[in-house]
């Protein structure tokens, strides 16, 4: 295990999601062969951006291929759901609409080109804690159609929707309010929201270059935060 965020997994030991995914797949498929797996951890732990789920999904896909694809896509998704509600979506590896607790996956149109800045105040926020803290009914489905053609139109649609976990997350980690405020005031920011169950928040920009510049600016003023800037359809990269 390595990478800039590997130290945050020290307390997890041999129970991290990658090893759990490997063991679960081996047991389900009856595979006795082993494999050498190296995790290069670049995303913060318990950050609300699906880092652990993406790690588990990558392990499932890679090992399933290495071991001769004993499980089909549907079986792999069902197995992934045992590891976490976000794993089936990460296994899809493309934009999807998600329902239920993560088990109902439907294809979504490709996202329009846009820039994105992610910021986390370095406060782990376990998802179960946020769900225990939330109150009131869940909101209705937030799906929309058609997919907007550019970042400004996407931001306008998302502005009419919210994250039902934000209030509960703020009660647990008040610093999230400052993160959202800083993102909203970045030059060129079209929209700022909390990601998942927090504490990571994101801001949308019209283009990738603007997001990278904004991330660099934010990193200079908030050196203690984890910050990344990039865009779609290319990968987010560390600022």
Read off the pLDDT of residues 30-81 as tens digits, 9 standing for 90 and up.
998 889 998 888 888 889 999 999 999 999 999 999 999 999 999 999 999 9
pLDDT recorded at residue 237: 47
pLDDT recorded at residue 10: 61
- Per-residue tokens: 75: 């079986």
Whether residue 1 lies inside any domain: the answer is no
In this structure, the answer to whether residues 97 and 127 fall within a common structural domain is no
- Among the candidates 90, 107, 124, a domain finishes at 107
CA distance 155 to 162: 12
In this structure, the answer to whether residues 42 and 134 fall within a common structural domain is no
CA distance 99 to 122: 29
Q: pLDDT tens for the chain, 239 residues: list them.
A: 676 776 766 655 567 899 999 999 999 999 988 899 988 888 888 899 999 999 999 999 999 999 999 999 999 999 999 999 999 999 998 999 998 888 888 999 999 999 999 999 999 999 999 999 999 888 888 899 999 999 999 999 999 999 999 999 999 999 999 999 999 999 999 999 999 999 999 999 999 999 999 999 999 999 999 999 998 775 444 43
- Among the candidates 107, 136, 151, a domain finishes at 107
CA distance 84 to 127: 11
pLDDT recorded at residue 100: 85
Whether residue 154 lies inside any domain: the answer is yes
DSSP state of 118: E
Decide if 236 contacts 111 (C-beta within 8 A). no
In this structure, the answer to whether residues 231 and 130 fall within a common structural domain is yes
Q: What are the start-end ranges of the H helices in the chain?
A: 17-29, 51-66, 73-81, 87-92, 127-133, 151-158, 166-172, 175-184, 208-221
Decide if 97 contacts 214 (C-beta within 8 A). no
In this structure, the answer to whether residues 218 and 123 fall within a common structural domain is yes
- Among the candidates 53, 72, 107, a domain finishes at 107
Decide if 62 contacts 18 (C-beta within 8 A). no
- Residue 59 sits in a domain of what CATH number? 3.30.230.10
Q: Which residue segment(s) compose the domain that 231 sits in?
A: 114-238
- Per-residue tokens: 149: 């053609």
CA distance 156 to 151: 9
DSSP state of 153: H
Decide if 193 contacts 164 (C-beta within 8 A). no
pLDDT recorded at residue 14: 67
Whether residue 200 lies inside any domain: the answer is yes
CA distance 180 to 116: 14
DSSP states of 189-239: --EEEE-TTSS-EEEEESSHHHHHHHHHHHHHH-TTSEEEEEEESSPPEE-
In this structure, the answer to whether residues 96 and 139 fall within a common structural domain is no
In this structure, the answer to whether residues 146 and 31 fall within a common structural domain is no
- Residue 221 sits in a domain of what CATH number? 3.30.70.890
Question: Is the overall model pTM greater than 0.85, yes or no?
Answer: yes
- Per-residue tokens: 43: 């995303």
Q: Is the dihedral of CA 195, 109, 142, 74 positive or negative?
A: negative
In this structure, the answer to whether residues 101 and 123 fall within a common structural domain is no
Query: Cis before residue 146, ω within 30 degrees of 0?
Result: yes
CB atoms within 10 A of CB 139: 10
In this structure, the answer to whether residues 18 and 126 fall within a common structural domain is no
């Amino acid at each position: 295990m390595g990478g800039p965020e590997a130290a945050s997994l020290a307390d997890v030991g041999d129970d991290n999601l990658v090893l759990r995914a490997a063991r679960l797949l081996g047991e389900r498929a009856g595979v006795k062969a082993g494999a050498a797996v190296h995790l290069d951890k670049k995303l913060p732990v318990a950050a609300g951006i699906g880092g652990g789920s993406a790690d588990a999904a990558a392990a499932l896909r890679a090992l399933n291929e290495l071991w001769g694809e004993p499980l089909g896509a549907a079986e792999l998704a069902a197995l992934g759901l045992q590891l976490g509600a976000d794993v089936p979506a990460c296994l899809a590896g493309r934009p999807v609409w998600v329902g239920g607790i993560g088990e109902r996956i439907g294809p979504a149109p490709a996202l329009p080109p846009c820039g994105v800045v992610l910021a986390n105040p370095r406060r782990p926020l376990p998802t179960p804690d946020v769900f225990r803290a939330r109150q009131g009914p869940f909101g209705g489905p937030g799906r929309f159609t058609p997919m907007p053609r550019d970042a400004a139109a996407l931001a306008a649609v998302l502005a009419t929707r919210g994250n039902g976990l934000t209030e509960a997350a703020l009660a647990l980690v008040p610093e999230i309010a400052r993160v959202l405020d800083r993102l909203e005031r970045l030059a060129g920011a079209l929209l700022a929201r909390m990601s998942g169950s927090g504490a990571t928040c994101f801001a949308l920009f019209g283009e990738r270059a603007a997001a990278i510049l904004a991330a660099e600016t934010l990193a200079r003023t908030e050196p203690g935060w984890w910050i990344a800037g990039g865009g779609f359809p290319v990968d987010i990269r560390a600022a």
